[in-house]
Amino acid sequence: MKAVVLVGGFGTRLRPLTLTTPKQMLPILHKPMIEHVLEHLASHGINEAVLSMGYRPDAFADAYPEGLCAGVKLHYAIEPEPLDTAGAIRFAARHAGIADRFVVVNGDVLTDLDIGALVRFHDEHHGEGTIALHKVDDPSAFGVVPTEADGKVIAFVEKPPRDEAPTDLINAGTYVLEASVLDRIADGRKVSIEREVFPAMVADGVLYATPGDTYWIDTGTPPKYLQSQMDLLRGVRGERAQGIHPSATIAPDAVVARSVIGEGVEIGAGAAVRGSIVMPGAKVGAGAVVERAILGRRSVVGAGARVDDLAVLGDDAVVGPDLRVSGGSVGVGEHLELSPSDTTEGA
């Protein structure tokens, strides 16, 4: 089978990390997120994927110049303008010449969903499309999908108020679609699959959905991006992963706990890094503390400084000695050089 992987978003919720890098190229445990997504597809027999790209397409082409990643052959489809979810799917599928049933996944969602089981369900029910569902505590930020007993979708309710949601099963962003669905999508304009295409398919009785009791996370915010990697370290998705890259330099008396330490990272004497992501080339000075934070590539935390409470440092950002950044973000290349007596809250 072939797949369409949506990677065209601007990643605004993950800024400043995504100001220079598409979010699907951000590292998840020492390799780009997109590689985790494609490895999952490959494990279920998908050997070709078209990347529906818009923002910084060069980053993908530069990383995989031979058009191969995780054993999956890649096609690059670059939108001439943002076309929304359905428009992006149509453009990418047509670009790659997809003429049969295919899978659609979001490039910023990590899941252990059994795609083979989803395809079998789709084939057995003879619909035009099948949506994978996921159960959440608060469905108000997602598309909610109530179904009949046989899985036929009754309605598609996009981001309902929490107390009005008809179910706690949400659209998990993985679909099996017949090629005929492409004919439902208008050409040359923005079209939302959630707001236009799926409701029309519901009206025609050709959309199905099935829940999958499996790991699922949308990595598009700093807390979820951090959690996705902490889950790997804790063994939530199988064996516990090793978070420290072998090329990292860590002082003998430094403390590193439950953290991902990237390639070439330097952690100074007496420093402490807990529950954090430290991207390649970053430096943590002597006596500094990094706790539940994300440090971008080549960023610097000065001696005695503290970065915590989901603070995010962009690439090449610098937090000077003895300063504190608690929450918020420091922009790409920004230098915080305040007097040691000052404290920066939410910089």
For residue 118, give the CATH number of its domain: 3.90.550.10
Do 198 and 295 lie in a common domain? no
**Does residue 190 lie in a domain region?**
yes
Let me know whether 125 and 216 are in one domain. yes
SS3 120: helix
Is 335 within 8 Å of 315 (Cβ atoms)? no
**What's the pLDDT at 323?**
95
Alpha carbons within 13 A on the beta-carbon side of 142: 20
- Say if residues 263 and 245 touch (Cβ distance below 8 Å): yes
Q: Indicate whether 156 and 302 sit together in one domain.
A: no
Domain closes at, from 204, 222, 240: 222
Q: Tell me if 176 is assigned to some domain.
A: yes
User: Do 216 and 261 share a structural domain?
Assistant: no
Q: What is the pLDDT of residue 9?
A: 83
Same domain membership, residue 189 and residue 54: yes
Domain assignment present for residue 243? The answer is no
Closest alpha carbon to 282 in 257, 304, 312, 323: 312
What tokens were used for 269?
A: 């004497």
Instruction: Report if residue 50 sits inside a domain.
Output: yes
> Is 242 contained in some domain?
no
Q: State whether 30 and 128 are in the same domain.
A: yes
Quote the pLDDT of residue 164: 81
Q: Domain count of the chain?
A: 2
Query: What does the DSSP assignment read for 15-80?
Result: TTTTSSS-GGGSEETTEEHHHHHHHHHHHTT--EEEEEE-S-HHHHHHH-TTSEETTEEEEEEE-S
For residues 48 and 130, membership in a common domain is answered with: yes
The CATH number of whichever domain residue 261 belongs to comes to 2.160.10.10
Q: Are residues 292 and 187 in the same domain?
A: no
Domain that holds residue 164: 2-222
Same domain, 29 and 114: yes
- End position of a domain, from candidates 205, 222, 239: 222
The per-residue pLDDT for 144 is 85
- pLDDT at residue 163, rounded to an integer: 80
User: Which residues are part of the catalytic machinery?
Assistant: 159
Give a yes or no: residue 310 inside a domain. Answer: yes
The DSSP call for residue 240 is P
Helix or strand or coil: residue 252? coil
SS3 content of the chain, % helix, strand, coil (to 5): 25, 30, 45
Run of H or E residues at 174 = strand 169-177
CA-CA distance, 8 to 23, in Å (whole number)? 9
Write out the chain's pLDDT in tens, 347 residues.
899 999 988 888 999 999 989 999 999 999 999 999 999 999 999 999 999 988 888 899 899 988 899 989 999 999 888 889 999 999 999 999 999 999 999 999 999 999 999 999 999 999 999 999 998 888 888 878 899 999 999 988 878 888 888 888 888 889 999 999 999 999 888 999 988 999 999 999 999 999 877 899 999 999 999 999 999 999 998 889 999 999 999 999 999 999 999 999 999 999 999 999 999 999 999 999 999 999 999 999 999 999 999 999 999 999 999 999 999 999 998 999 865 445 445 44
Residues 312 and 23 sit within 8 Å (Cβ to Cβ): no
pLDDT, residue 339, reads 57
What is the maximal distance between C-alpha atoms in the chain?
68
Residues 48 and 146 in one domain: yes
Place of tokens 């430094």: 254
Q: Residue 162: helix, strand or coil by DSSP?
A: helix
Residues 175 and 307 in one domain: no
139 and 258 assigned to the same domain: no
- Please report whether residue 244 resides in a domain: no
| Residue 232 belongs to a domain | no
Give, in degrees to the nearest 5, the angle at Cα 312 between 308 and 313.
110
